[in-house]
Structure 1
């Protein structure tokens, strides 16, 4: 476990806001009369224009009002008090924004209305949090290659690198970004307040298309105790929602190869046909009560990748005639007998750069006849097709149960299917399929204007499959090897000539159950917030360790192609057993924070987050340890020295749990002149990092392994070297271990401690400028 400590002190006229909730925001401000005196007891009402959601409150004795957990949108805010004219202001509230709207009450009748537009303060005066917003205008108008809106985060200060591809590729893919020098795997993603982070890889999932996204907010440092899971940025994405008015869009993006050029090495211009149609629509099902929004986008890409060149045997070489080769061939030697290769009659296999036809490998003939094309020049140039089909949709429903209760749900799905080629010769294509689904519901209940609860539950299910488009059993090709666990064919690499790659099958399954409940209470000058966040993560990785590959380098005869024709391999790698992994993770977290308005110009934010670390565990306890000479009691048939969970001193996890992870957070915001234009901020916080699920993905003995063979015959790799075949399927125990090796007999391997690292940031943003000066450093433990 790693923690991050941030120290930030700056003076700013800066649009930086505190995220009071994952999706909702806050509207607050001060009410004064014409003389500048504060006005208590003013009725303040905010009405969202799109859905007519209304919230009310009353200003306190300091003239301050605070409307909590307001959905993002455009609002009309009214202030009313007998003896004064009604003040009315319009403003837009973005997701997580702490919007300040001040009123100046004028004497008059309530029927008199004073209209004020865009009265929101441009500077956040209540928070030390640094954040940036990619609003709807940027989402719609900025150029975006690939239409992944996370890519737009690079427009925000402090973000130095963003990787957000058009497709995820697998459940361990997804967007990442580097914020203020922190690792790209230290960010937490949310969609409409629900967890959207892939904790098996600590990356995000690909979001809905730009036409379905309202905005993205990235908190980059000193965020409050409400936020955890990772020490880097908090990336909050919000979809559009329906309203009383119908709105929609239709689009089609098209790319082709008409203006593309052919490179010098390509025989022709690569084909490209890409279509990306889509549509979105939002409106009402019940006026002022039930609203819907939906978006669908498809992607069809028929493009050819860059060219690859293969050198294949000429017609003469297929018959064994290498007389055109300038290099003199030699007859390989059998490493077991020490004798040169010869046919059944005793004739030499290689003479005067010609291979004896009786010595040509039947396996080589099989692969040549079935997969390797003929070429009079011996050169084959290939433009590799890589078709991609994908679709992405999101649906959202918002329901106003009552004036005190609002509920919204969303369903998200992202689906990819790509076929790619293996090697520079058409041999066996690879099918890759990824399917991501999320269901989420959020309920906001207002018990009183000063007390409310927000609860969110979500379930993420992501599956990916990789497999070959067909089967080529090695024995069908004349090689005495089976397909192994899950069915894996043979990969052949003729160095400097051509390669035939067989993709290994793999299934990944990621499931995340996430729930969070937050309470907010206003008591005088205190805004108290506390809550709980829980998570259960299950990650399955099923991949047979059955990779089989043979390499022909030319070390046997002087020519890699001649080695292949003779079946004289330099190296064969043979995997066996099962490399399956089923890690599980529980997370339980709680927080408490207080926003204290010490004076109308000075706000103090203080809190603490409790984030205990409960380590990843294998679902079947598949961990092992090493103690030379010690016999396992759990598995007495295992080789001496290998111990299992249940044996003395062997833990069921790879790291110690850490139950004292208390993360204090404190910050202040000082409105220097009281006019909301110049703010001095400072902040300190400790943040804990999550350990990704890949830390327990290891293929180790005794349930899986790899055998390396050297200088044998491809027809019978093991038999030609007097070796016996290892087991290829799943052993009876069917288990998998992450081995920790101890060099000294009698000592058990200790659990790894959780180190702390520290990241310090200092920042001085300047008024009205985007320039900032920053410093970041990391201190790692020495032991």
Structure 2
């Protein structure tokens, strides 16, 4: 039986069946990160718990014993938790009352006078600096403290006023997934009409929570150089992060497999976009959609001290926040160009590799006029739209050394003979022996045999299948009879052209609606129209381009976030999201490896499964080995998520509990090798009577 959930205490967890007695103890998924102080009080922290190997399957009520707290949960016969999480979590939160981090942000502080005495009853107003709308209005308690919960990331103006004191104004910035304590705000004696503007630096050390996290803000995103304008590369600037792609010109968008936090695996990470999951569950190493760098406000990388809301994977958490509109209109148009004309010749190279890369687009943001809802004097609707187009063309020229026409047409291996003798036989290296005449010693060395005259294998002795394979091979090399000689004797040099293209169009729209200081909502939509073409196929192992393949990879992401502040001490956050991405592989144009066209008439085991009617893959045949990759492969992934968080302020404590539902649907071709394979190797055929001593 498996039990899953979380408790915000550091304690041993025991299960007791009311009718059968003690069942077992839970094993924490991560080591406890909460510690008790000298007085025995739990300072802060959380553990996640899951697989309890000692617990047998059971039906009925299970009592969970944690220190002196008890709660009941009901299980079905599969041991899946059915009810009780919100109730249990609330009880435990009330018992331990740690500080929890929300998807939205929290702002707190203490209002004092010039003598340091706390000031209760002061009015605190938090205004969104970009939109000009009131985000929250609270009053300080008897201890002079205030808490504003479930705020959105961004810049704010914090105003504090009370009759008999001058008004205080402070500019602050709330980062994504941040609990910010501004410390003491001092009010000076005077008239409310007098304003004191407070300026200062943000605290160097974050003390409100125990998280270990790093922020990459708007300024860093805009100004730090990136190879390919791929913002994911900025994660390599975070301490404790290693990347296998940080120095590459990486245009493989959506891929996040090369990043490892604190030694973790690349497939253990979590990615969130505006609070909703954004990680393809098929491989756990790619995003459903990767927003353009110009549409991102900031992102935060959390590496350890995770809180219960971040489960699923054990690695780092990357939370990305998109940009929103402001109370004035702003727009940008841009194009970034990379071209080999502007490049230098690489060190140790004689020419420049060809490159064509263009990324262009624009964005606009501002407020939306709507009669009776959002007007010039009362702006409530805001929007931000970004469109970006990426074009990459890599001509991909190169060459391959292939067997000469004399070998492929006539079996003439005379060019392979060298002046050196074999170590254990009186023959030249490169000798081809007649089948059935080769003799070996105990160590497997050739010691005798009958060579073919002039090292030429008569075509009359060619096995029909082998002759057919060589014929097919020659059809794949245009003009193979007139190719220039390669440095290696018996080989010709085949120069080929391998175009590699990327076509990506992305639209991102975000609409914010500030109904009041208590109710805010926004909708975000991402649409990715992405496709690629590879001259030598995808996941293929061809010595030269044979079968060009096309891979469309469209994706979309929808998110609706609602923040409702019922009172200054109680707020709700609701997130609904849907992600989708599909991929498929197909042959560009007519199939050059079509069985009928090439005369490959051997029997197929599963002819109906060979969707492209291609010849088999050929392995272990040296320079004539090639594999076709995966034409006909298909992948489709959908992700539905619902998050309901409830945050409660109780005196100096902030408590959070909620519910998270995530449904993933992944459909993918299980195996794409339906065209069959022909394998050659020197293990199964070693010391066989018909061995010629030469694989080709």
Partners in 2 of 1:513 and 1:434 — Cα distance?
19
Deviation at 1:60, TM superposition (A): 0.6
CA contact (8 A) 2:281 2:666 kept: no
What SS does the corresponding residue of 2:473 show, helix, strand or coil?
helix
CA contact (8 A) 1:349 1:356 kept: no
Task: After superposition, give the CA deviation of every residue in 1:81-100 in whole Å (9 maximum; x if it has no partner).
Answer: 11212111112222222222
Deviation at 1:211, TM superposition (A): 1.4
CA contact (8 A) 1:169 1:434 kept: no
Deviation at 1:107, TM superposition (A): 1.4
Q: Do the aligned partners of residues 303 and 452 (structure 1) sit closer, same or farther apart at CA in structure 2, a change above 3 Å counting?
A: same
Structure 2 counterparts to residues 547-626 of structure 1, below 5 A: 547-551=675-679, 556-560=691-695, 563=696
What SS does the corresponding residue of 2:225 show, helix, strand or coil?
coil
Q: Is the aligned partner of 1:209 residue 2:292?
A: yes
Partners in 1 of 2:586 and 2:323 — Cα distance?
37
Structure 2 counterparts to residues 211-230 of structure 1, below 5 A: 211-230=294-313
- Residue matched to 1:504: 630
By percentage of residues, which structure has more helix? Answer: 2
Q: Do the aligned partners of residues 395 and 435 (structure 1) sit closer, same or farther apart at CA in structure 2, a change above 3 Å counting?
A: same
Pairing partner for 1:51 from 123, 127, 131: 131
Deviation at 1:373, TM superposition (A): 4.0
Deviation at 1:184, TM superposition (A): 2.4
TM norm structure 2:
0.71
Structure 2 counterparts to residues 321-720 of structure 1, below 5 A: 321-326=412-417, 327-332=430-435, 352-359=454-461, 361-371=467-477, 373-374=479-480, 375-377=483-485, 378-382=492-496, 384-422=498-536, 423-469=542-588, 470-471=590-591, 472-479=593-600, 480-482=602-604, 484-487=609-612, 488-493=614-619, 495-505=621-631, 506-542=633-669, 543-551=671-679, 556-560=691-695, 563=696
Partners in 1 of 2:409 and 2:620 — Cα distance?
14
Deviation at 1:372, TM superposition (A): 5.4
- Residue matched to 1:179: 261
**Which is further off, 211-220 or 226-235?**
226-235
By percentage of residues, which structure has more strand? Answer: 1
Measured on the aligned residues, the alpha-carbon RMSD in Å equals 3.1
Q: Do the aligned partners of residues 552 and 170 (structure 1) sit closer, same or farther apart at CA in structure 2, a change above 3 Å counting?
A: farther
Partners in 2 of 1:372 and 1:264 — Cα distance?
31
Task: After superposition, give the CA deviation of every residue in 1:327-352 in whole Å (9 maximum; x if it has no partner).
Answer: 33234469xxxxxxxxxxxxx99654
How many equivalent pairs are there? 538
* Structure 2: unaligned runs, 5 residues or longer: 3-27, 36-98, 370-374, 418-429, 438-449, 486-491, 537-541, 686-690
CA contact (8 A) 1:429 1:503 kept: no
What SS does the corresponding residue of 1:3 show, helix, strand or coil?
coil
Q: Which has the higher contact order (CA 8 A, sep 6+)?
A: 1
CA contact (8 A) 2:399 2:493 kept: no
Task: After superposition, give the CA deviation of every residue in 1:53-79 in whole Å (9 maximum; x if it has no partner).
Answer: 311000011110011111222211111
- Residue matched to 1:251: 334
Q: Do the aligned partners of residues 395 and 349 (structure 1) sit closer, same or farther apart at CA in structure 2, a change above 3 Å counting?
A: farther
Task: After superposition, give the CA deviation of every residue in 1:689-720 in whole Å (9 maximum; x if it has no partner).
Answer: xxxxxxxxxxxxxxxxxxxxxxxxxxxxxxxx
- Residue matched to 1:272: 355
Partners in 1 of 2:456 and 2:306 — Cα distance?
74
What SS does the corresponding residue of 1:203 show, helix, strand or coil?
coil
TM norm structure 1:
0.64
Pairing partner for 2:157 from 76, 101, 118: 76
Q: Do the aligned partners of residues 264 and 489 (structure 1) sit closer, same or farther apart at CA in structure 2, a change above 3 Å counting?
A: farther
Structure 2 counterparts to residues 181-200 of structure 1, below 5 A: 181-200=263-282
What SS does the corresponding residue of 2:415 show, helix, strand or coil?
coil
Task: After superposition, give the CA deviation of every residue in 1:96-136 in whole Å (9 maximum; x if it has no partner).
Answer: 22222331111112112111124754443321112111011
Deviation at 1:513, TM superposition (A): 0.6
Deviation at 1:462, TM superposition (A): 1.1
Partners in 2 of 1:265 and 1:88 — Cα distance?
61
CA contact (8 A) 1:382 1:424 kept: no
Partners in 2 of 1:253 and 1:145 — Cα distance?
11
